[in-house]
Structure 1
Amino acid sequence: MQSSRLLLRAVESSDLNSTYLSWLNDPRVNQFLETRFFPQSMGTLQSYWQAHHDNSEVPWFAICLSADGRHIGNIKLGPIHWLHRRADISLFIGDHGCWGNGFASEAIALLRDWAFQELDLQKLNAGVYEGNIGSRRAFEKCGFELEGTLREEVVNHGNRLDIWCLGLPRSRWSPSR
């Protein structure tokens, strides 16, 4: 999948490098990721890739800049629930220099359109930690709406936080968003 600024491609073994590892261990990047609970190593990164890179139920993509191919983050669709034709979207932008440039919403839009057009999914969901305003705005920019709040659902730095549940049914989708 490609736009003028981004390319989404499968995460490759060559992506498993010190830069990617540094993102997973960076408190500014991982503050809203489940990986923050355990120190990440090259071994854990490679094990995760081995277990997930060929899983068609959870397509996992590197977010790369079209201009130079630089890997700046990841986006994942899934798990895909084929019976109900729905899936979750999650992502992170690891490269701090790429924050605030609209890359997250652009990646979401690419994956959203692919999920609706190519996979014929009927509903997409996203769970966003309370306080992760950038992520929430990126999803809302792509047509997702707040559907509910899971109260005190997760722990972050010793505090209970809500999860904002956002969703986009295909019937409300516009590929031009």
Structure 2
Amino acid sequence: MIVGDGLRLRAIERADLPTIVTWLNDPEVRDQLAAYLPMSLAAEERWFEKLPERPREQQPLAIDVARGNAWKLIGTCGLHEVDWRTRAGELGIMIGEKGEWSKGYGTQAVALLVQFAFETLNLHRISLYVYADNARAIRAYEKAGFVLEGRLRDGEFRHGVYRDVLMMGILRPEWAAARK
């Protein structure tokens, strides 16, 4: 478990799956994700069963926020495509609980995951992809230290229109310098 101030990242449990499926089937949530088709609970359970086959450091994490003496699941995040030769990985995040949007939880979760990636996994570089029209996510990534590295023009097609996709990244020396 990775613990921050009122927020924690933990392993996803089977009991989380119905909530995650609800988020993935919400068009407003799904429109900002690479996933573009609705998800069934059965498909999500099959995905969950295969998680042990992934390297531990690339297994997705649940994002919980403190609510009194309890914790509330609000999203998921994780590292994937980790390349140990170049010490690089990609970050993904979903704040699925729409009532928790724009409260800084995405920024905090990204910051915790980046700290874990650099300090525990000894990665050198973390990158991510985000739709150019997702201003809320871009702000969160910038607050966590990510910088724009490129633009894939018309990189995604959805709802009859093309959307640009931005590539953002952060290097360990940049992250360390910002923490001083």
- TM bucket (normalised to shorter chain) is over 0.9
Select the residue among 152, 166, 176 that pairs with 1:150: 152
Residue deviations 1:65-111 (CA, integer Å, cap 9, x gap): 13321111000111211111000111111111100100000000000
Equivalent residue, structure 2, for 1:110: 112
Question: Is 1:93 matched with 2:95?
Answer: yes
Structure 1 residue identity aligned to 2:28: R
- Trace 1:38-49 onto structure 2 (pairs within 5 A): 38-49=37-48
- CA apart distance, 1:34: 2.4
Q: How does 1:1-177 map to 2 (within 5 A)?
A: 1-17=2-18, 19-36=19-36, 38-56=37-55, 58-67=58-67, 68-174=70-176, 176=179
Query: Following the alignment from structure 2 to structure 1, what is the Cα–Cα distance between the partners of residues 154 and 72?
Result: 37
Higher mean alpha-carbon deviation, 154-163 vs 122-131, is at 154-163
Amino acid at match of 2:46: S
Task: Work out the number of aligned pairs and report it.
Answer: 175
Contact 1:76 1:91 in 2 (8 A): yes
Question: How far 1:162 moved relative to its partner?
Answer: 1.1
Identity of aligned residues (%): 33
> 2:121 aligns to what SS in structure 1?
coil
* Gap regions ≥5 residues in structure 1: none
1:53 Cα shift?
4.8
